[in-house]
Amino acid sequence: MTETPTPKLHINHLLGMENVSREDITLMLDTGMSFREVLERPIKKVPTLNGKTIVNLFFESSTRTRIAFELAERRLSADVVNFAASGSSVSKGETFKDTVKNIEAMKIDMIVVRHESPGVPLFLTRISDATIINAGDGAHEHPTQALLDMMTLREKFGTLDGLRVGIVGDISHSRVALSNIYGLKTMGAKVSLCGPKTMMPKFIEQLGVEVFHNIDDVIPNVDALNVLRIQRERLHAVLFPSNEEYNKYFGVTKKRLEKARKPITILHPGPINRDVEISADVADSEHSFILHQVLNGVAVRMGILFLLGTKGKAN
Amino acid sequence: MNSSYLFKNAHVIDPLTKTDEITSVLVENGNIKKIAKKISTEKNTRVIDCNGIILAPGFCDMHTHLREPGYEHKETIETGLTSAANGGFTAVACMPNTNPAVDSAATVEYIKSQARKSVPAVEVFPIAAATKSREGKELSPIAELAEAGAVALSDDGSPVENADLVRRILEYGSMYNLPFIQHCEDKSLAGKGVINEGFISTTLGMSAIPRLAETTMLQRDVQIVEYVKGKYHAAHLSVKESIEIMRQAKKKKLNVSCEVTPHHFSLTDEEVRSFNTNTKMNPPLRTQDDVDELLVGLHDGTIDVIASDHAPHSIDEKDVEYIYAPFGIVGFETTIGLCVTKLIETKTLTWKQLIDKLSVNPRKILSLHEIKIEVGEKANFTLIDAKKEWTVDVQQFKSKSKNSPFDKWKLKGKAMGIYNNGMYIESK
C-alpha cells in the first residue's frame, strides 16, 4: 500500500495573498480547520514544530495578531522569541537590515514580521534564509487576517465560491481589505467595497471589485460584511469630517441591517470602535462572528506555521 | 601632457554648424585646428581612431547632485565629475541642495574651485538656491550669487510653493538672466507619497503621489510666467498632462523650457512591484501612458532637455525599508546608453535632436557659451559608440554611489570618451 504524501504548499513564504493559488489557500484553510480541533482539546499542544525557532518581529504595535501568532507557535511546540521595536529601526540608530542580520545570527527558522513599510516581508526574504510570514506590512497586505476571515466565512457558508462579501470602511489604508480582495476573488467570491470616496483608492475597481459609496446599496446584496476599523492613527489627512458623520452615513447599524432579506454575517478585524464603524448591538449580535474570527486566527496561523515550518528549507 | 589629438574618421554631428559627416578633427592646445577627411599629423599627435564613433559637441547635464559640501559620503565633487566624464559629459550644472545650501557666493566659489582642482575636463556650473537655505521663505542673495557664477536658481529637491515668491524669483532673477528651475510638486497633494498614485500603488498599499501634484504647480507657474515674464525651466517632468501644459505655454511664446530624465522615459511604476528602493525617485515613476507622451514630447520638441537628475545615495541609505529610503538614483553613466537604446534605436529621436537635448539646449537655457565644431573654436567633444552593446554593472560606476535600477540591463550605445579643456578622458 502506498502512503498518500502530505500536501505541500507551492509557496515558501507567506508574503501576501496576491498570486497565492486557490489550491494553496484551500490547503491552508483545511489545515487551519484541523488545528481548530486541537484547540478544542483539553491539552491544546502538539509537538509538530519541536526544535524550530520562530522570531516574532513586530516593528508596529499589535495585540491580537502578536498574541495569536505566539499562541499558535507555542501550541506547535516551537521556541518563540518576541522582538518588539517601537518606531522605525532607523530612528533607533540601527538599520532594519542590521537588526535582522543580528537576530538571524542566533540561528532562527522562521520570522513573523509586522512593519509599517509595504514590502518589508519581501525585503526580508532577500536578506534572511528564514521562512517569512507577513503579519502586516503597512497598508499593503495582512494575509493571515484574510485567511482567518475566509476560514470563518467558509465555516459558516460551506464554500466561498459565489459568496457575496462586502468590505466597508477605510479601504485606502487597509491591509485587511487588500488581502481579503485578493484571497476572496481567488476563491470565487464576489467582493463589493463601500466607503467614502476619500477612503477608496482611485484605481481599486481594476481589481475586479464593485465600489459603492452608500452602504444602503450594499447591504441588500451581500451575504457577509467585513467591517473595517476606522484607523485614526493612519489617517494622515482629514478624510472624513467626524466620527458622528461617519457613523451616520457608513456605520453598520441594526436598523440598516434590517433592510436585508436575510441576516448578514458580520466580521470585523478588530479592535472595534463601537458606534463608529459598527454599533454595539450589531457587534454583539448572534450574526457577529467577531470572536469566532479570533479563535480561527490562532487555528489558521497554526496551519500556516505547520505547512511552512515543515516544508524544509525555503528556496 | 599630449597637446595634439587627431580624432580620426569620426562621425561628426553638430546641430549648430549643421555638420553631419565622417571626417577627422585635429585639435591642438585645446582648440580645433583643422577639420578634413584626411589630415597628416606630427609624430607626437595622439591619434584616436573614431571609426564608427559619433563626435558631438560636449554634453551638458543640467540637473545633477554632486552632494558636496555636506554629503560627501554619497558623492564628492571629484567622484561626481569622474562619473560625469565616464558618462560622456563635459559640463554639469549642480543643484543647491547641499549642506549648507548654495545660497552664498562663498559656496558657489567653493564648488567651482573644488571642481577645477578635481576633474578639469568637466566644467561645473553651480545652480544657486532660489530662497535662503532652500526654505521657501525669503529670496536668496540673487545678485551676489549671479556675480559669483551661479547659472540658475532652484530649490530643487523641494518646490518653491509660495506663488508670490515664485513671481519675485522670476522678476529678480531676470535682471541677471538667471532661469528659475522649478521642482514641480505641490506638497499638499503629494503628502507622504512614495510612488505614483495609480493601480500599482493601490495593489501595494503604498502612500502615493498623484499626477496632480506636478501639474497643478506647473500650470500655476506657467500663469505666473505669463504675467511677469522671466525665464522658467521645469525640472524632471513625469506626467503626460505636464507635456501638454508646456506645449500650450510654448505656443504662447512664453520663455519656458523643460526637461525629462532617462528613467522617466525608460521605466514605469510596474518596477516598484519589486520593492527595490532604486525604483524610488521624485517625481515617481509613472505609467506607460506617461512614458508614451514623454516620447511624443521629446520627438516634437516640447521637451527641450534630457538631464540625468544624478542623485547619489549610499548603499546603507538605500538598503532599508522602502518608505524610509531616500528618493533618487545615479544617472551619469547610464544616460547615453538609455538615450540610444530607448530613443535612437526606436527612431523616436534623430541624432541631431538628441544632441540638441544633451548639449545645445541645456547650454542655451543656462546661457553658457555655445559649442561649435568649427576650426578656431575651443575643442569640447563627447564621443559615443552608438553600436556598442554592453551590460550595466553598477560596481563599475565611477560614482561613489551605486543606486541604479538599471543594474544588469543590456544597453546599446556608450560614451567612449570626452575631450575638453585640452584633456582627453577615455570612458571605462
Helix B77-87 to helix B105-118 angle, to the nearest 10 degrees? Answer: 60
Confirm whether B356 is a catalytic residue.
Answer: no
CB A134 within 8 A of CB A142: yes
pLDDT of residue B383: 98
Closest by CA position to B181, among listed B239, B106, B126, B262:
B126
* Band (A96; pLDDT cuts 50, 70, 90): confident
Torsion of CA B136, B141, B142, B148, to 10 degrees: -130
CB A285 within 8 A of CB A18: no
Placement of cell 525665464 in the chain: B231
What length does chain B have?
428
Give the pairing of strands A164-168 and B46-49.
unpaired
CB A203 within 8 A of CB A170: no
- Span B66-75, average pLDDT: 98
Residue type at position B306: I
- Span B169-174, average pLDDT: 97
pLDDT of residue A4: 65
CB A299 within 8 A of CB A36: yes
Residue B296: strand, helix, or coil: helix
- The 10s digit of each residue's pLDDT in B401-416 is 999 999 999 999 999 9
Residue B85: strand, helix, or coil: helix
CB B285 within 8 A of CB B272: yes
- The 10s digit of each residue's pLDDT in B82-123 is 999 999 999 999 999 999 999 999 999 999 999 999 999 999
Residue A255 has pLDDT above 60, yes or no: yes
CB-nearest partner of B205 from A122, A123, A178: A178
CB-nearest partner of A175 from B191, B202, B205: B205
- The 10s digit of each residue's pLDDT in A275-291 is 899 999 999 999 999 99
Query: For residue A102, what are the contacts with CB-CB under 8 A and spacing of at least 6?
Result: none
- Span B341-367, average pLDDT: 98
Name the β-bridge partners of A79: A53
Q: Does the CB of A70 have a partner CB in chain B at under 8 Å?
A: no
> What mean pLDDT value characterizes chain A?
92
- Span B123-151, average pLDDT: 98
Q: Which of A124, A140, A176, A234 to mutate to test the interface with B (most CBs of B within 10 A)?
A: A140
CB A294 within 8 A of CB A270: yes
Q: Does the CB of A203 have a partner CB in chain B at under 8 Å?
A: yes
pLDDT of residue A240: 86
Residue A312 has pLDDT above 70, yes or no: no
pLDDT above 90 covers what percent of chain B?
99
Catalytic residue among B156, B269, B309, B356: B309
Residue B54: strand, helix, or coil: strand
Give the pairing of strands B423-426 and B410-420.
antiparallel
- Span B159-170, average pLDDT: 98
Q: Does the CB of A91 have a partner CB in chain B at under 8 Å?
A: no
pLDDT of residue B427: 97
Q: How far is CA B260 from the centre of its chain?
A: 8
Give B317 or A95, the one with higher predicted confidence. B317
Q: How many whole angstroms separate alpha carbon A81 and alpha carbon A70? A: 9
CB B336 within 8 A of CB B387: no
Q: What's this model's pTM, rounded to 2 decimal places?
A: 0.93
> From the CB of residue A249, how many other CB atoms can be counted at a distance below 10 Å?
14
Query: For residue B137, what are the contacts with CB-CB under 8 A and spacing of at least 6?
Result: B131, B162, B165
CB A59 within 8 A of CB A115: yes
SS3 letters across chain A: CCCCCCCCCCCCCECCCCCCCHHHHHHHHHHHHHHHHHHHCCCCCCCCCCCCEEEEEECCCCCHHHHHHHHHHHHCCCEEEEEECCCCCCCCCCCHHHHHHHHHCCCCCEEEEEECCCCHHHHHHHHCCCEEEEEEECCCECHHHHHHHHHHHHHHHCCCCCCEEEEECCCCCCHHHHHHHHHHHHCCCEEEEECCHHHCCCCHHHHCCEEECCHHHHHHHCCEEEECCCCHHHCCCCCCCCHHHHHHHHCECHHHHCCCCCCCEEECCCCCCECCCECHHHHCCCCECHHHHHHHHHHHHHHHHHHHHCCCCCC
The interface predicted TM-score of the complex, written ipTM, equals 0.89
CB B35 within 8 A of CB B373: yes
pLDDT of residue B298: 98
Q: How many whole angstroms separate alpha carbon B214 and alpha carbon B239? A: 8
| Cross-chain Cβ contact A203/B198 below 8 Å | yes
> What mean pLDDT value characterizes chain B?
97
Residue A55 has pLDDT above 60, yes or no: yes
Q: How many whole angstroms separate alpha carbon B59 and alpha carbon B355? A: 8
DSSP state for residue B271 in the 8-state scheme = G
Q: How many CB pairs lie under 8 A apart between chains A and B?
A: 69
Q: How many whole angstroms separate alpha carbon A15 and alpha carbon A20? A: 9
- How far does the CA of residue B276 sit from the closest CA of chain A (Å)? 8
* Band (A88; pLDDT cuts 50, 70, 90): very low
pLDDT of residue A86: 66
CB-nearest partner of A118 from B191, B206, B319: B206
Q: How many whole angstroms separate alpha carbon A232 and alpha carbon B75? A: 41
Q: How many whole angstroms separate alpha carbon B380 and alpha carbon B55? A: 10
Tell me whether the omega of the peptide bond preceding residue B120 falls within 30 degrees of 0, making it cis.
Answer: no
Query: Which helix (H) or strand (E) segment is B387 a member of?
Result: strand B380-391
Closest by CA position to A35, among listed A224, A287, A309, A270:
A309
Give the pairing of strands A164-168 and A190-194.
parallel
CB A103 within 8 A of CB A47: no
pLDDT of residue B43: 86
Judged on CB neighbours under 10 Å (0-12, 13-18, 19+), B255 is: middle
Considering Cα of B23, then B28, then B30, then B34, what sign does the dihedral take?
Answer: negative
pLDDT of residue A315: 37
* Band (A314; pLDDT cuts 50, 70, 90): very low
- The 10s digit of each residue's pLDDT in A148-195 is 999 999 999 999 999 999 999 999 999 999 999 999 999 999 999 999
pLDDT of residue A215: 95
pLDDT of residue B334: 98
Q: Does the CB of A238 have a partner CB in chain B at under 8 Å?
A: no
- The 10s digit of each residue's pLDDT in B283-300 is 999 999 999 999 999 999
CB-nearest partner of A201 from B202, B316, B319: B202
Q: Which of A57, A95, A115, A207 to mutate to test the interface with B (most CBs of B within 10 A)?
A: A95
- How far does the CA of residue B243 sit from the closest CA of chain A (Å)? 23
Closest by CA position to B273, among listed A184, A136, A141, A197:
A141
Q: How many whole angstroms separate alpha carbon A243 and alpha carbon A298? A: 31
Considering Cα of A149, then A154, then A160, then A163, what sign does the dihedral take?
Answer: negative
